[in-house]
Amino acid sequence: MKRRLSKSVWGWALYDWANSAFATTVMAGFFPVFFKMYWSHGANVNESTALLGFGNSAASLLVAITAPLMGSIADRSSGKKKFLIAFAYLGALTTASLYTVGKGEWALSIFFYMLGIVGFSGANIFYDALLPGVSTEENVDFISGLGFSLGYLGGGLLFALNVLMTLFPQSFGLPDASAAVRFSFITVAVWWGGFALFTVFWVPEDGARILPGVSPGHSVLRQYAASFRKLKNLKAASLFLLAYWCYIDGVDTIIRMAVDYGLSIGFSSTDLIVSLLVVQFIGFPAALAFGKLGQKWGVRKAIFLAIAFYMGITLWGTMITRKEEFYVLAVGIGLVQGGIQALSRSYYCRLIPKGQSGEFFGFYNMLGKFAVIIGPALVGLVSLGARSLLLPDSPTPEEITYAARVASRWGIGSILLLFLAGGILLYFVDEEKGRADAVRISAAE
């Protein structure tokens, strides 16, 4: 008879249910649409794409440069859960603040959005670091997949409600669709902050890891430097992080820029929102299935499968012209998005020393955020550069529209390089040696 999952596992997984509302309704859904059509009113499509990409990159940079230090502090002060909650409520409050931003106020909207990303991404450092404490080596792939699966379902349910609000605003007591979009930011904040309480009350805090005779505050900066030295001795973990840096860049860039790309090549916002819902509800069972696939077939092989699938999706995405094709694209993304995220996290758990998850997941999230710095900026720069190359002197309106759409395809196509690099680096990761190195360093502490 199979054992039931513990309350701590459910409490951990339900945080993904909570914060995925921000990832779906805000990052992937309404913010790109509202930013392009309302807050950046008057800018051309390529300029607004660049503004959105640079805003994503700046917020990610702030989290990335502090992630390992925050993880080290949390390990030594028994504070992973405390840090998670602090960042989560920062994100929830600044998301609610988007409700107050008026038309054309793109700078203020980017400011609140960046703080929301800081809260979302910062909390995820400590959420990931709590995974080893609620799982075993035998079930870590499944539990990691469970978290992403609940995230897709929870985020999808609230997003579906928010979409209904925009389609039938009067039924919800709202004057129009714009008011419904603005009110949706408040619903995300309430959902995120409310369901995070399960994590607060059900997930135990890991014990602090204090070196004899050294206080946590005195040793933090020393530990920050020591962490880099440890990574030099964890060659498999280091190489995996480089691979992850590349391919997760492609994944996250598609998440954050897909709606903007669809708008740039001429699809309606309604078609794109429906596509996002397709991703959410297919991602729910698919993430669970990938967790099982990792257990049965091997985690590394399953990640390779997802990378190959993403390369095909990206290539095909540069050629689509009809909304039906965009829906098929959404189905493909939904099949692998949660799986590659969940299995990357559980695979990394096997390569790091026990008792140091905050510190090493700080590096994991740092590289993930540095990757997102490159991806959206790459899409924005390639899009702007291609547009300038394609536009003739004194272009007609038709030539401007054509150049904008072709440039957007070039921009999204540049992501292929990131998946290719990630797959090549992952091929050279030696998992058995990585496990042995992690045990050795853990024993030496």
pLDDT tens digits along 111-123: 899 999 999 988 9
Task: Answer whether residue 2 is part of any domain.
Answer: no
What's the CATH code of the domain at 123? 1.20.1250.20
- Phi, psi for residue 4 in degrees, rounded to 5: -70, 150
CA distance 330 to 313: 9
Percentage above 90 pLDDT, the chain: 39
339-360 pLDDT per residue, tens: 999 999 999 999 988 877 887 8
Task: Answer whether residue 218 is part of any domain.
Answer: no
pLDDT value at position 410? 78
323-337 pLDDT per residue, tens: 778 788 888 888 999
| Ramachandran class of 70: left when φ > 0, alpha when ψ lies in -120 to 50, beta otherwise | alpha
Torsion sign across C-alpha atoms 46, 47, 51, 57: positive
Q: Which residue has the higher pLDDT, 73 or 145?
A: 145
CA distance 22 to 308: 28
Which residues form the domain of 154?
9-203+224-444
| Radius of gyration from C-alpha coordinates of the chain | 21
Number of domains in the chain: 1
Task: Answer whether residue 91 is part of any domain.
Answer: yes
CA angle 195/198/200 to nearest 5° reads: 110
pLDDT value at position 444? 67
Task: Answer whether residue 217 is part of any domain.
Answer: no
Q: Is residue 199 within 8 Å of residue 191, measured between CB atoms?
A: no
CA distance 117 to 252: 13
End-to-end Cα distance, the chain: 38
CA angle 348/350/351 to nearest 5° reads: 70
Q: Is residue 46 within 8 Å of residue 101, measured between CB atoms?
A: no
Task: Answer whether residue 215 is part of any domain.
Answer: no
- Angstrom distances, CA of residue 88 to CA of 85, 158, 215, 417: 5, 17, 27, 33
Give the 3-state secondary structure of residue 221.
helix
Cβ-based burial of 298 (10 A; exposed 0-12, middle 13-18, buried ≥19):
middle
CA distance 20 to 116: 12
Q: Is residue 272 within 8 Å of residue 263, measured between CB atoms?
A: yes
Of residues 27, 147, 163, the one with CA closest to residue 95: 27
Give the 3-state secondary structure of residue 44.
coil
CA distance 179 to 174: 6
pLDDT value at position 14? 97
| Ramachandran class of 42: left when φ > 0, alpha when ψ lies in -120 to 50, beta otherwise | left
Model confidence at 362, pLDDT cuts 50, 70, 90, reads confident
Beta carbons within 8 Å of 230's beta carbon, 6+ residues apart: 353, 441
pLDDT value at position 100? 94
CA distance 345 to 412: 25
Average of pLDDT values for 252-256? 74
Of residues 28, 206, 219, 2, the one with CA closest to residue 117: 28
Task: Answer whether residue 358 is part of any domain.
Answer: yes
Q: Is residue 78 within 8 Å of residue 207, measured between CB atoms?
A: yes
Task: Answer whether residue 210 is part of any domain.
Answer: no
Most confident stretch, 17-26, 39-48, 217-226: 17-26
Task: Answer whether residue 366 is part of any domain.
Answer: yes
